[in-house]
Amino acid sequence: MKRDIKAGSPRQSLLLTILFLILSCLLWGLLLGIIFKNPILSWAHQEIGQFSNQPTQTSVPLLTSTPTLSEFLTEATRVEITPTRALSAQETLDQIAADTIAYYAYELFYYPVSQDTRLPDTYPTDSAQLPLVRMGDVMVAEIIAQPLNDLMTDAKAAGFSPYLRSGFRSINDQYTAYSRYVTEAVALGMDLPNAQEHAREFSAVPGYSEHHLGLAVDLLDYFYVDWIVARNNYDKGLYQWLRQHAYEYGFVISYPPGENPQKAKAGSGYSISEPWHLRFVGYDLAEWLFNAGYIDPHSSVTVNGILENIYKTAPEQ
């Protein structure tokens, strides 16, 4: 059956009226929008403008560039670093000594062996306690090989000619050398006490030398290679360079000249100056000694004095 849509029915009129009203509203809205310069868009612009004009202190600050490292550090240290008491010189020295002895794991590392202080009776007479390695013609403690190589490399680069004359010497080796000096002096007519006194001018008594530890070397300048010439030229060539730079490699001159350049500084542990004799004491103590003026003939600081101080204050192991 076919249903005819009759024009003019009340239901159809209602739908047309609703459709007309909707279209009229849209038309008027469009018309008003044009007349009032599109108030909806104007409002949106205003809102965005108001947001961007918010006072910056109430919002998260935006990074305009990457902060510098110092800005980061300043921020970090403000939170993490708390004030601490400054260490005194003695506390600093004790700390360096304790740390270094522990680092090298050798309790005699700073042993103050000198003409007055013998190594412990238990020290071996034919070897060192530290492992040794060969450098040129001599043996040295393995732990000083790299620093010594660095020192010699830089000394050469600075225009000098370092010559490694001696390193480790056992107590037995020292006995042989010392005995020869005594025997020669006796042969020249000295009595034994005088001959021994004479020998000590040139040679340590067995058991009383830093060379036994493997931590000391005699580094000569090829241009001032004779002992006496070297002693008289302690402030020239390689010897002057060592005075200024040995500490940078962890070494110190154990017996630098005192006010009389022929003699070692008082308290050095040996009476005659030896501008070529270096002992490895580690980087921190070497720097400490340099800054304390151990080279200065007028200062009272000596390597031996500081080492004796360390062994008096070091805790019992």
Site for Zn ion contains 203 (CB under 5 A): no
- How far is Cα 224 from Cα 276, in angstroms, rounded to an integer? 10
Nearer to Zn ion, 210 or 308 (CB): 210
Nearer to Zn ion, 274 or 308 (CB): 274
Site for Zn ion contains 231 (CB under 5 A): no
| Least distance between Zn ion and beta carbon 277 (Å) | 4
Residues 272-291 that bind Zn ion (CB under 5 A): 277
Q: Which residue is nearest to Zn ion (CB)?
A: 277
Q: Considering only 10-18, 195-203, 214-222, 259-267, which stretch makes contact with Zn ion by CB under 5 A? A: 214-222
| Least distance between Zn ion and beta carbon 270 (Å) | 9
Tokens found for residue 165:
């004359």
What are the angstrom distances between the C-alpha of 65 and each of 56, 68, 71, 75, 76? 16, 9, 12, 16, 19
- How far is Cα 258 from Cα 10, in angstroms, rounded to an integer? 130
β pairing state of 274-280 and 251-255: antiparallel
Q: Where are the beta strands (DSSP E) in 89-200?
A: 132-135, 138-141, 162-166
Nearer to Zn ion, 176 or 194 (CB): 176
Which DSSP symbol is given to 58? G
Nearer to Zn ion, 218 or 221 (CB): 218
Closest CA to 267 of 235, 308, 311: 308
Closest CA to 210 of 105, 310, 304: 304
Site for Zn ion contains 218 (CB under 5 A): yes
| Least distance between Zn ion and beta carbon 315 (Å) | 30
Q: Where are the beta strands (DSSP E) in 116-269?
A: 132-135, 138-141, 162-166, 216-221, 251-255
Site for Zn ion contains 221 (CB under 5 A): no
| Least distance between Zn ion and beta carbon 69 (Å) | 47
Nearer to Zn ion, 186 or 261 (CB): 261
Q: Which stretches of the chain bind Zn ion, using CB under 5 A?
A: 218, 277
